[in-house]
Structure 1
């Protein structure tokens, strides 16, 4: 039997994607490089296949943009046009991410790139032994896989309550809601508590500026981050509306700047927020990842009046794929949000919940943290050494005392979009500061994921790319 040419196989695959409705009219198909990598062929083979499908009227190229689906087999023989799903998504209530953020999200799954962007632990810090041991114990305890009551598995909430007591947060299991990561908690708050026309006071820069968390009906007021975290003086020059204003902040190892508020600053902030009746959402997902000394107590530990909703997560400390975090606050608020939760997805993975419960209860989580802190400290120090060696003449930075990131500030104005593209061309993914709403020439570099060798190669690439702008 005669072998079917590869370009013919690829053309048939493209047609099937279109005919099955997986690639709808108006959608952009993958790049030639991506298709070539998927099929293990040269790009010329892919070009031949695409030209064949173009000649059938199914595809059309747009200069500088890519190849788009313009027809399917049905639309070619029918006068009835199919739904324009591309137009539907364009005007949806949830807007698309900024283009650079979309690119970074896609690129972070590439194993062939140096990942200075990833906000997660490197593979060498994944707790393989601990997960295996905990899973063995958990499988013997499994009884049912029901939806639950929306609050989350009681045993896990009890262990989180005990865990929080160690940092001065005394809160009962019934005041804790299990969520699928910190962002899920924040999304529940925006949909379940905040009302139309609310004013959100938000740090700037902040990782929350890189996602569309808040509905368009809400006003965002940016409060700058200084060396000791949120600029409290500027915050309280603003006007607050009772029951329509809220403060979101990340006071410990802030993302992206890695700054932390002092204990004194935290006390001042909480006192003033109580005076102005300004609720606080405290995002504290990096707390357990201190590298030099434990950070000051969280705002929630100082809160005696239910002023603070406290958000934490195991995505940064164990594994992002577990999708387990929590929200702690007044019992009435937690019940309200658990009801909202039940209207959306009925709860987080039961298996992930009981697995994390076992890690906490057995003490394996704390032992794992000790190893992670040691490794992260080594990687942080190595990236600091490389920065001092290669970029000290063009940039400044501070030594982070925890978390994953070093915030690099360039001494002169740089074209950060150009730097991003140049680094990507050399297989290095960086996070330019503008995706966090920073208007200066800045860069967030992660030391958590890349290897020592990759960090050195990546810094040299950044140095070489900068030479074109200096």
Structure 2
């Protein structure tokens, strides 16, 4: 194989992928640039391989669209065709993400790109020693790996119940459901509680616009603006709120992507309004423990006397995204319904991950890790603010976040953020443009949690150079 010309090696590999159904008929090939990078060759080598496969009748080019697989060896021999997966996927419950979102998801796993977009703790913030100590201790406690009852491990739920008391939330273990991150909680609610065709009032901008979660479940999204003071409660009051056909999704603490905080007064007013309209509230509070300057106002759930607020938290942001452990607090009837649905879907979250988190909480290691994380996040936030003041003060404005992972940047001039996103990516820097969050202004979201100090500086210099000379 080593002596075979590179272009023939690529021909063989593509034939193999087509033959095995990894690249089925009707699917589009990666771009020539992507394939050249994948195979570590020049684009001319890839072009030669593609031309050979075209001559064999396996590939076909469509002007302005790309190269598509039109046959495989089996269909050429038998005149039969495999299922048209591309057509079938159009009718799938969950449509594909926006192309930009797909590209961001793909590029966030590339080690050679500066990640100014990533919404998770960086390597310098990962609790290496705490995880190692806890994993060693937990390994001797793993006596069984049964499916459980869908609710999640009772010992973990008890620890979460204790932890929630620190924030003023009284939730017994029976009213807590362990989920595989906040997104699964939202998915369970969208298919297990909310009626199809319901209207979900949602912040704008909001990270939920970058996924099709509610829309895929047949919900209508109604945007409510977020300004520097957070969610516009008065605007919500003007809406057509239908009993049993409406719900509110809100992220009041270090809102993603704007990082705004809803004031205590606004929180109380929102609860009053929602009680009046009998509007269920889904409170996403995954960034609560990540305050930097001072703790955020109490969760909406602390003012809930009627079981109106479904409260979501997660350890994906505070410990590690890969653990996939979060929780949902709600009335026991709702939790029971969703635990039954959970058993139908996946039988519950990883038992090993649950035990790991339980031990981190009960041992006090979680609190020590969070305290250290806040100090580090402050250093990183202040450094990115310094870089913004040094390099972008003539181009944009921003506010100082008091917690979370991000800084929300608004450009002064009519900057094409789609063009800026592409230019940055081509220069090895990944940013999140505001349009993926349903923001029509000239905005980008920058992360200080994941990149190193050196990467932040390189990234900001790149953005400055692009704004000055190219965009």
What TM-score do you get using the length of structure 1 for normalisation? 0.97
2:215·2:221 contact (CA, 8 Å) conserved in 1? no
* Deviation at residue 304 of structure 1 after TM alignment: 1.3
Structure 1, residues 383-416: CA drift from partner, whole Å, max 9, x if none? Answer: 1011111111121110000000100111222111
| Aligned match of 2:90 | 90
* Deviation at residue 468 of structure 1 after TM alignment: 4.3
| Aligned match of 2:21 | 21
Question: Quick one: distance in 2 between partners of 1:65 and 1:136?
Answer: 53
| Aligned match of 1:330 | 331
Q: How do residues 86-165 of structure 1 correspond to structure 2 at under 5 angstroms?
A: 86-165=86-165
Question: Quick one: distance in 2 between partners of 1:416 and 1:405?
Answer: 17
| Aligned match of 2:47 | 47
Structure 1, residues 2-56: CA drift from partner, whole Å, max 9, x if none? Answer: 8333322221111111011111011122333433334333333333322222221
1:414·1:469 contact (CA, 8 Å) conserved in 2? no
Structure 1: unaligned runs, 5 residues or longer = none
Secondary structure class of the residue paired with 2:214: coil
| Aligned match of 1:407 | 408
Change (3 A) 1:270 1:285: same
| Aligned match of 1:31 | 31
Structure 1, residues 104-128: CA drift from partner, whole Å, max 9, x if none? Answer: 1111101111111100111111111
Question: Quick one: distance in 2 between partners of 1:388 and 1:425?
Answer: 24
Structure 2: unaligned runs, 5 residues or longer = none
Q: How do residues 367-382 of structure 1 correspond to structure 2 at under 5 angstroms?
A: 367-382=368-383
Question: Quick one: distance in 2 between partners of 1:414 and 1:340?
Answer: 46
* Deviation at residue 75 of structure 1 after TM alignment: 1.4
Question: Quick one: distance in 2 between partners of 1:108 and 1:263?
Answer: 35
Residue 466 in 1 paired to residue 467 in 2? yes
Question: Quick one: distance in 1 between partners of 2:29 and 2:239?
Answer: 47
* Deviation at residue 197 of structure 1 after TM alignment: 1.9
| Aligned match of 2:301 | 300
| Aligned match of 1:318 | 319
Question: Quick one: distance in 2 between partners of 1:388 and 1:147?
Answer: 52
Secondary structure class of the residue paired with 1:220: strand
* Deviation at residue 270 of structure 1 after TM alignment: 0.6
Q: How do residues 247-266 of structure 1 correspond to structure 2 at under 5 angstroms?
A: 247-266=248-267
Structure 1, residues 406-446: CA drift from partner, whole Å, max 9, x if none? Answer: 00111222111111111111111111100000011111111
* Deviation at residue 103 of structure 1 after TM alignment: 0.7
Question: Quick one: distance in 1 between partners of 2:375 and 2:323?
Answer: 22
Secondary structure class of the residue paired with 1:315: coil
Change (3 A) 1:358 1:256: same
Deviates more, 1:229-238 or 1:51-60: 51-60
2:248·2:281 contact (CA, 8 Å) conserved in 1? yes
Residue 273 in 1 paired to residue 280 in 2? no
* Deviation at residue 196 of structure 1 after TM alignment: 1.8
Residue 185 in 1 paired to residue 185 in 2? yes
Over the aligned positions, Cα root-mean-square deviation in angstroms equals: 1.5
Question: Quick one: distance in 2 between partners of 1:123 and 1:58?
Answer: 44
| Aligned match of 1:444 | 445
